[in-house]
């Protein structure tokens, strides 16, 4: 008989973190004997508004908290939670609902930062982690932080479904470099405008931004760019038609340092060599000279692109990338994730 598992995510399938770290593992959870029931905190309307550039909605956030608060009065005995059950509420309130239940937390970003210096919220994640039966971490920074509070932790990167990425795809006629993300993280691309312009001077290419077409007015001057609407259905096909991918991050941003290198993992699955900032988890996922290159100064970004326009170099790195993708796949981590949950929650 299957064991009920309440999966309390931050978003529905429209949110990448929830879709990839929870919904994508439904089959693995079921194979381990769980009957998962998914309960997103935010509705798709919240993310749709945010990605349209209209900012966060306090009204929708308040409505989400009311719904989750009401649902928390009838929690199952075993829980998998994205970050926290009741955002913006102190640990003491959340602990009342979690009392007598076994729960596993899952972190893909350094969300501790958002509660720093906020009184009763400041130590919330530390206390939740300490009381958890297990904690899943997407990268080494998070794992190191969590292990100081709870020894029952495992690193499971945000993984891709390799079956979604075609092995042979016709490339775009023009040399195309991909960047995939959200309108929120597009600011990281804008902060590297000089690097992008240096790349444009070094080689002819088009930067394909897979996010929102409405970002068009924010195109970086001096760089040939094309904007495509992201969807779960088209991301793999679009990436597979590109020639390379980029993941620029600011070196002076604490939140960026705690991010998982999921863009790089997507590029691996699509067989794309990548250029990335040597920040955080990027340094562990990208293998310099084997699956891509690191770059900091604009000149380094330009030189890396010039190298990738050499067909022999790109083909070699592309083959390496696809081979390494298995190490960051749902096919590998599905059984590991499910077994960790089974042992933690038994």
Q: Block means of pLDDT (10 residues each) for the chain, length 346 residues? A: 95 91 96 96 88 84 94 96 97 97 96 96 98 96 97 96 90 98 93 98 98 95 97 93 97 83 96 96 96 98 98 97 96 97 96
| pTM, rounded to two decimals | 0.89
DSSP lists the bridge partners of residue 227 as 209
Rounded Cα distance between 139 and 191, Å, is 24
Are 218 and 186 in contact by the 8 Å Cβ rule? The answer is: yes
Residues whose CB falls within 8 Å of the CB of residue 103, separated by 6 or more in sequence, listed in order? 78, 79, 80, 81, 131, 132, 133
What φ, ψ does residue 213 adopt, rounded to 5°? -65, -25
b/e sequence 146-176, b meaning 16+ C-beta within 10 Å: beebbeebbebbbbbebebbeeebeeeeebb
Extract the tokens encoding 143: 């794992």
Tell me which H or E stretch contains 147: helix 140-147
> Phi/psi zone of residue 105: left (φ > 0), alpha (ψ -120 to 50 degrees), beta?
beta
- With CA atoms as reference, report the closest residue to 138 among 166, 111, 157: 157
């Amino acid at each position: 008989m299957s064991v009920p598992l309440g999966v309390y995510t931050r978003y529905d399938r429209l949110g990448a973190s929830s879709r990839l770290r929870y919904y994508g593992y439904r089959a693995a959870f079921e194979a381990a004997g769980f009957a998962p029931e998914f309960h997103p905190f935010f509705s798709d309307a919240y993310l749709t508004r945010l990605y349209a550039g209209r900012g966060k909605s306090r009204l929708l956030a308040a409505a989400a908290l009311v719904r989750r608060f009401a649902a928390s009065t009838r929690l199952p005995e075993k829980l998998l939670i994205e970050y926290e059950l009741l955002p913006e509420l102190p640990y003491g309130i959340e602990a009342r609902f979690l009392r007598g239940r076994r729960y596993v937390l899952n972190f893909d970003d350094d969300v501790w930062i958002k509660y720093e210096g906020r009184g009763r919220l400041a130590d919330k994640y530390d206390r939740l982690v300490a009381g958890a039966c297990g904690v899943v971490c997407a990268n080494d920074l998070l794992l190191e932080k969590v292990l100081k509070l709870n020894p029952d932790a495992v690193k499971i990167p945000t993984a891709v479904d390799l079956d979604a990425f075609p092995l042979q795809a016709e490339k775009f006629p023009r040399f195309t470099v991909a960047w995939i993300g959200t309108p929120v993280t597009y600011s990281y691309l804008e902060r590297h405008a000089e690097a992008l312009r240096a790349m444009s001077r070094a080689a002819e290419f088009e930067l394909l931004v897979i996010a929102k077409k409405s970002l068009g007015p924010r195109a970086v001057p001096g760089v040939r760019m094309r904007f495509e609407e992201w969807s779960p259905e088209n991301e793999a096909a679009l990436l597979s038609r590109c020639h390379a991918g980029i993941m620029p991050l600011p070196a002076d941003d604490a939140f960026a340092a705690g991010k998982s290198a999921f863009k790089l993992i997507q590029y691996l699955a699509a067989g794309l060599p990548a250029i990335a900032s040597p920040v955080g988890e990027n340094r562990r996922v990208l293998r310099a000279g084997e699956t891509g290159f690191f770059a900091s100064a604009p000149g380094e970004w330009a030189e890396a692109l010039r190298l990738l326009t050499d067909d022999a170099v790109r083909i070699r790195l592309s083959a390496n990338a696809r081979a390494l993708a298995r190490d960051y796949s749902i096919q590998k981590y599905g059984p590991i994730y499910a077994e960790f949950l089974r042992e933690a929650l038994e």
